[in-house]
Amino acid sequence: MKKTILLFLLISLFSFSQNVKLKIGDILFQSMNCGPLCEAINEVTEGYQGKDFSHLGMVYIKNDSIFVIEAAGAAVKITPYETFKTYTNEEMFVGRLKRKYQKYIPEAITFSLQQVGVPYDDEYLYDNGKYYCSELIYDAFLHAYKKPLFDLFPMTFKSPESNDFFEVWADYYKKLKMEIPEGQLGCNPGGISTSNKLKIVGTIE
């Protein structure tokens, strides 16, 4: 009996990991390879089942080709899915809005496409005319749903172990000649991945 249960769990896990057919509006969560900054983000944010996510993007399908709308690099952009996958060496988690919210996806996609070319929000301040990755998704569904679909939380740039600012963030904001926005409202990939408005439907390696 125990062997049967174990086999069932293994089969279920394999199915969960491998058989994900991406749909427009799916949100892809990944642990991006971006060095110390991403490591600092991972230290203070927790995603689905305790996973570390430092980046996300929304699936956009056009003429049977899969793209990801993301805020990364210099600006909001449309990235081929195969390129998006190369940002990480780990599996990506696929989030899908629950059925009652899926009707808002087309408007969220339209909004996101209209933001292509908007500068990347390197200050990580909400509502400053620029976008970082999760901020774009937050605003896209805020626009479509007409009220917040996801949540904003006070941001922290401090190590949970020492309660001091991470050195990488202190240096980062010093170069920007601005104060660290500790406690300002914002969002992050981990927080969105745990939202009760969506379900993690699988992973992709």
Q: What is the pLDDT of residue 205?
A: 85
Q: What is the pLDDT of residue 86?
A: 94
pLDDT in tens, 67-83: 999 999 999 999 999 99
Average pLDDT on 145-154 reads: 97
Could you give the domains of the chain?
A: 22-150+188-204 (3.90.1720.10)
Q: What is the pLDDT of residue 19?
A: 65
Q: What is the pLDDT of residue 74?
A: 97
Average pLDDT on 183-190 reads: 96
Q: CA triplet 157, 160, 164: central angle to 5 degrees?
A: 55
Share of residues in the chain with pLDDT > 90 (%): 81
* pTM score, whole prediction: 0.89
Instruction: Give the separation between CA 155 and CA 48, rounded to whole angstroms.
Output: 18
